[in-house]
């Protein structure tokens, strides 16, 4: 394995300058992961803490993601269909969208404080933009003939939105949701880096402070696996809700 050989021989990756001698050995990472999940005969601060931290982090991600989706989807659908809504909100979205979550941290700390609320806010803020852009794109790309067909059948404006525009925008909305969910897991570590004692991000910061690189890698692996699983669950729920229509892969 490249990782094992590189670590043993202290390779240095050119261009990026990664010194593999400081990476933990794969066996150490596996041992740390087992200890994190099930404990060990020689317990430490991380022993058996996986499930508590995973549950706390998952709840924060779910809460922030749900808030973002609840606001972004209807707003994006309306912006895609109505010029007034688009001209009103588009400048603000494009003004705040380039600002990274790291730039919000000092202000969030002053206004909200540190802890769960600040983490949820950062996750919701970061996930909002890809979701709303997906909804806008999907809503704008609805074929005009579908709108006309609904109107010819006597559907009112809100019925056209609910029964024509929303279903036709579903694939684009779903793409935005998946991107937003991935970003939510990325921002989690940033949100949990201050004022949070329980969570995957908090454990990664603690592992960094005590120079436990094996535990840092374990935290990265767990977040990656949790992000992948949550994406699969989201896709599965979407397929179930759309009765298996081939809208996404």
Average pLDDT over residues 76-83: 87
Distance CA 199, CA 249 (A): 31
**What local confidence, expressed as pLDDT, does residue 108 receive?**
86
Average pLDDT over residues 143-170: 67
Higher pLDDT, 208 or 12: 208
- Kindly report the backbone phi and psi dihedral angles of residue 114, in degrees, each rounded to the nearest multiple of 5, phi listed first: -100, 150
**What local confidence, expressed as pLDDT, does residue 6 receive?**
52
Task: Flag whether pLDDT at 43 surpasses 50.
Answer: yes
- Kindly report the backbone phi and psi dihedral angles of residue 124, in degrees, each rounded to the nearest multiple of 5, phi listed first: -65, -45
**What local confidence, expressed as pLDDT, does residue 249 receive?**
44
The least confident of 27-36, 74-83, 136-145, 220-229 is 136-145
Average pLDDT over residues 143-159: 64
**What local confidence, expressed as pLDDT, does residue 66 receive?**
96
**What are the distances in angstroms from CA 188 to CA 7, 126, 204, 219?**
29, 10, 11, 12
Ordered by start, the domain boundaries in the chain are 1-48, 50-241
Task: Flag whether pLDDT at 140 surpasses 90.
Answer: no
Distance CA 69, CA 139 (A): 15
**What local confidence, expressed as pLDDT, does residue 175 receive?**
92
Distance CA 97, CA 68 (A): 14
Percent of the chain having pLDDT more than 70?
80
Higher pLDDT, 226 or 247: 226
The alpha carbon dihedral of 197, 200, 205, 209 has a sign of: positive
pTM, full prediction = 0.86
Q: Where are the alpha helices (DSSP H) in the chain?
A: 2-8, 26-38, 50-81, 83-96, 101-111, 116-140, 144-152, 157-160, 166-168, 170-191, 200-209, 213-241
Residues 33 and 96 sit within 8 Å (Cβ to Cβ) = no
Task: Flag whether pLDDT at 10 surpasses 50.
Answer: yes
Average pLDDT over residues 41-64: 89
What fold, for 50-241? MetI-like fold (1.10.3720)
Radius of gyration over alpha carbons of the chain, in Å? Answer: 22
Distance CA 93, CA 210 (A): 40
**What local confidence, expressed as pLDDT, does residue 124 receive?**
95
**What local confidence, expressed as pLDDT, does residue 72 receive?**
95
């Amino acid at each position: 394995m490249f990782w094992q050989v590189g670590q043993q021989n202290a390779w240095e990756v050119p261009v990026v300058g990664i010194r593999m001698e400081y990476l933990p050995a794969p066996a150490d990472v596996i041992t740390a992961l087992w200890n994190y999940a099930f404990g060990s005969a020689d317990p430490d601060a991380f022993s058996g803490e996986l499930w508590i931290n995973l549950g706390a982090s998952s709840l924060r991600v779910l809460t922030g993601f749900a808030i973002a989706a609840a606001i972004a989807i209807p707003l994006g659908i309306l912006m895609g269909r109505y010029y007034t809504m688009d001209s009103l909100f588009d400048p603000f979205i494009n003004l705040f969208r380039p600002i990274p979550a790291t730039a919000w941290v000092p202000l969030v700390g002053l206004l909200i404080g540190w802890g769960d609320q600040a983490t949820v806010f950062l996750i919701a803020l970061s996930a909002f933009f890809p979701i709303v852009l997906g909804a806008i794109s999907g809503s704008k790309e609805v074929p005009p003939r579908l709108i006309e067909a609904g109107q010819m059948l006597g559907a009112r404006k809100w019925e056209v939105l609910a029964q024509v525009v929303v279903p036709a925008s579903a694939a684009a909305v779903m793409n935005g949701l998946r991107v937003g969910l991935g970003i939510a897991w990325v921002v989690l570590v940033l949100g949990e880096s201050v004022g949070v004692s329980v969570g995957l991000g908090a454990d990664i910061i603690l592992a960094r402070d005590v120079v436990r690189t094996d535990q840092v890698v374990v935290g990265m692996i767990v977040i990656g696996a949790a992000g992948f699983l949550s994406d699969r669950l989201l896709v599965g729920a979407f397929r179930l809700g759309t009765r298996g229509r081939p809208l996404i892969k």
